[in-house]
């Protein structure tokens, strides 16, 4: 491997650790060797890369610019090595934005990603229905709805559910219009609550509780507070255990389309991000989990 690649790796390690001594100890090098490598790098590019003090190294503006280039260079080198070796080498941090239901679903599958790629670190940002595209820190995020040119992962079916303790004294609704007489539990971010699409019409539920988290609504439904419209994958275990029961089980309720969004074009994704994108597609809830 070229001296420049080694030096760039050392430079990024110095950025992360902020100390010659720590890097020297980790790499089993002398303090002088590490310092000389940095001097040579600064001489090569003709810029000062760190503000140096007795306590910690801190990147200069030029150092920050080089760090961005160095990260891309090393990712490309890793991609070339992986491609030619026939092995995907994924390591580093991937920031992922997910809805609550899918976040909980994928969290239970992450052990498989960990086993295949132990060098990866995953950071989950969990939020229901919030537009995440403005968050520049994210590498990937799941969007509710279709997006031209983006990859559609699949659909998430929804259903109306309630606890027996809620339905017992009131009786179950027999038609969508009966929901107006019931306490309903809704979630979302819009200033005006959205309706529930049922049997081709939009029902405006009487929202006794409105929250910005589907899990909060889920737990409220479990406690017997009312009827909720939730993703099937979020309530499947409760239905099987009898903690919740279907409401209007024959009603036609459109599924939620889920689209995978990426901060970079698909053909320019770093290996670490592509591996996670493939994981999201491979472990998207299948028919057995959604039926």
pLDDT in tens, the chain (291 residues): 468 888 998 999 899 888 888 888 888 888 899 889 999 999 999 999 999 887 788 899 999 999 999 988 888 887 776 655 545 557 788 999 998 889 999 999 999 999 888 888 999 988 875 555 555 578 899 988 888 888 899 999 999 999 999 999 999 999 999 999 999 999 875 555 678 999 999 998 888 899 888 999 999 999 999 999 999 999 999 999 999 999 999 999 999 999 998 887 877 788 888 899 999 999 998 744 443
What was the pLDDT predicted at 193? Answer: 60
- Where a domain ends, among 32, 50, 85? 85
With a threshold of 0.75, does the pTM exceed it?
no
Identify whether residues 200 and 269 lie together within a single domain: no
CATH number, position 284? 3.40.190.10
pLDDT in tens, 35-63: 899 999 999 999 999 998 877 888 999 99
What was the pLDDT predicted at 1? Answer: 45
Residue at 252 is within a domain = no
Identify whether residues 58 and 185 lie together within a single domain: no
For residue 97, give Cα distances in angstroms to 94, 136, 253, 280.
10, 11, 25, 11
Identify whether residues 54 and 113 lie together within a single domain: no
**Is 271 in contact with 75 (CB distance < 8 Å)?**
yes
What was the pLDDT predicted at 290? Answer: 42
User: CA end-to-end span of the chain, whole Å?
Assistant: 52
What was the pLDDT predicted at 206? Answer: 85
Q: Which residues contact 180 (CB under 8 A, 6 or more apart)?
A: 203, 204, 205, 206
Residue at 253 is within a domain = no
Q: How many CA atoms lie within 13 Å of 6's alpha carbon, on the beta-carbon side? A: 9
Identify whether residues 105 and 241 lie together within a single domain: no
Q: Which residues contact 134 (CB under 8 A, 6 or more apart)?
A: none
Domain range enclosing 103: 92-153+258-290
CATH number, position 40? 1.10.10.10
* Cross-strand partners of 58: 51
Residue at 107 is within a domain = yes
Closest to 210 measured CA to CA, from 197, 233, 194, 223: 194
Identify whether residues 28 and 70 lie together within a single domain: yes
What single string gives the DSSP state of each residue in the chain?
--HHHHHHHHHHHHHHH--HHHHHHHHT--HHHHHHHHHHHHHHHTS--EEE-SS-EEE-HHHHHHHHHHHHHHHHHHHHHHHHHT-----EEEEEEE-HHHHHHHHTTHHHHHHH-TTEEEEEEE-SS---TT-TT-SEEEEES--TTSEEEEEE-EEEEE-HHHHHHH---SSGGGGGGS-EEEE-SSSSPPPEEETTEEE---EEEEES-HHHHHHHHHTTS-EEEEEHHHHHHHHHHTSSEEESTT---PPEEEEEEESS-GGG--HHHHHHHHHHHHTS--HHHH-
């Amino acid at each position: 491997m070229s001296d420049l690649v080694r030096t760039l790796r050392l430079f990024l390690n110095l950025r992360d650790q902020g100390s010659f001594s720590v890097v020297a100890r980790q790499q089993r090098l002398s303090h002088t060797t590490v310092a000389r490598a940095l001097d040579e790098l600064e001489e090569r590019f003709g810029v000062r890369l760190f503000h140096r003090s007795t306590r910690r190294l801190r990147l200069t503006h030029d150092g920050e610019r080089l760090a961005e280039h160095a990260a891309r260079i090393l990712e490309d080198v890793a991609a070339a090595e992986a491609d030619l070796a026939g092995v995907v080498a994924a390591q580093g941090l991937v920031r992922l934005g997910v809805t609550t239901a899918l976040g909980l679903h994928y969290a239970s599958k992450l052990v498989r990603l960990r086993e295949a790629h132990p060098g990866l670190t995953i950071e989950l940002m969990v939020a229901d229905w919030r537009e995440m595209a403005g968050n520049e820190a994210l590498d990937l995020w799941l969007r509710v709805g279709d997006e031209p040119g983006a990859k559609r992962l699949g659909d998430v079916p929804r259903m109306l559910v309630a606890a027996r303790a809620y339905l017992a004294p009131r009786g179950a609704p027999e038609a969508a219009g009966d929901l107006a007489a019931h306490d309903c539990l809704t979630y979302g971010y819009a200033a005006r609550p959205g309706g529930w699409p049922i049997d081709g019409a939009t029902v405006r539920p009487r929202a006794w509780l409105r929250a910005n988290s589907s899990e909060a609504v889920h737990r409220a439904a479990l406690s017997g507070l009312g009827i909720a419209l939730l993703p099937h994958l979020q309530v499947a275990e409760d239905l099987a255990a009898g903690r919740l029961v279907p409401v209007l089980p024959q009603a036609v309720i459109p599924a939620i389309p889920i689209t995978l969004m990426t901060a970079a074009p698909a053909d320019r994704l770093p290996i670490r991000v592509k591996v996670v994108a493939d994981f999201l597609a491979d472990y998207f809830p299948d028919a057995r989990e959604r039926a």
